[in-house]
Structure 1
Amino acid sequence: MGRNIKWVYLIVLSLIWGSSFILIKKGLVGLTPMQLGAIRIIFTGTFLFIIGFKRVKEIRIKEWKGIILTGLLGTFFPAFLFAFAETEIDSSIASILNSLVPLNTIIIGFLIFKMKSSKRQVLGVFVGLIGTIMLIMNGATLNPNQNYLYASLVIIATFMYAASTNIIKQHLQHVKALTIAVGNFVVIMIPAIIVLISTGFFKEETLTNEHLKPALLYMLLLSLFGTAVAKVLFNKLVQVSTPVFAVSVTYLMPIVAVFWGVLDGERFGFWQGFATIIILIGVYLAHKKKG
Structure 2
Amino acid sequence: MSTQAQQTTSGQTTLAFEIGLLLLLALIWGSSFTLIKVAIPSIPPFTMVAARVTIAAILLLLIARAQGHALPRRGSVWAAFLVQGLLQSALPFTLISWGETHIASGLAGVLNATPPMFVLAIALTTGRGRQTVSGRKIIGVALGLAGVAVTMGADALSGIGTTAPLAQAAVLCASLCYAVAPIWGQRFSGLPAIVTAAGAMSCAAVLMLPAAAVLERPWTLAPPPAQAIAAVIALAVICTAFAMVIYFRLIHTLGPLGTTSGSYLRAGFAVALGTAWLGERFSWSSLAGMALILAGVVAVTVPAPARTGKTATGAPSRN
Q: TM-score, normalised by structure 2?
A: 0.74
Matched, 1:154 2:171: yes
Q: Distance between the aligned counterparts of 2:289 and 2:16, measured in 1?
A: 31
TM superposition shift of 1:73: 0.4
How is 1:108-123 mapped onto 2 (pairs within 5 angstroms)?
108-112=122-126, 114-116=128-130, 117-122=133-138
State the AA in 2 paired with 1:202: W
Q: Which residue of 1 aligns with 2:109?
A: 95
Structure 1, residues 207-229: CA drift from partner, whole Å, max 9, x if none? 34xx4432121000111000110
Structure 1, residues 51-91: CA drift from partner, whole Å, max 9, x if none? 22574633544433432221110111011011011112222
State the AA in 2 paired with 1:74: Q
TM superposition shift of 1:9: 1.3
State the AA in 2 paired with 1:115: G
Identity of aligned residues (%): 24
Q: Which residue of 2 aligns with 1:215?
A: 228
Highest Rg: 1 or 2?
2
How is 1:115-154 mapped onto 2 (pairs within 5 angstroms)?
115-116=129-130, 117-122=133-138, 138-139=155-156, 141=158, 146-147=163-164, 149-154=166-171
Matched, 1:248 2:261: yes
Structure 1, residues 7-46: CA drift from partner, whole Å, max 9, x if none? 2312221221111110011111211122222222222222
In structure 1, stretches of 5+ residues that fail to align are none
Q: Which residue of 1 aligns with 2:100?
A: 86
Matched, 1:166 2:183: yes
Q: CA RMSD in A?
A: 3.4
Aligned mate of 2:245, from 229, 232, 240: 232
State the AA in 1 paired with 2:241: A
Quick check: 246-255 or 56-65, which moved more?
Answer: 56-65
State the AA in 1 paired with 2:118: N
Q: Which residue of 1 aligns with 2:90?
A: 76
TM superposition shift of 1:178: 0.8
Structure 1, residues 201-250: CA drift from partner, whole Å, max 9, x if none? 101xx134xx4432121000111000110001111122223222222222
Q: Which residue of 1 aligns with 2:23?
A: 11
Q: Distance between the aligned counterparts of 1:108 and 1:230, measured in 2?
A: 25
TM superposition shift of 1:255: 2.3
Q: Which residue of 2 aligns with 1:180?
A: 196
Q: Distance between the aligned counterparts of 1:266 and 1:150, measured in 2?
A: 24
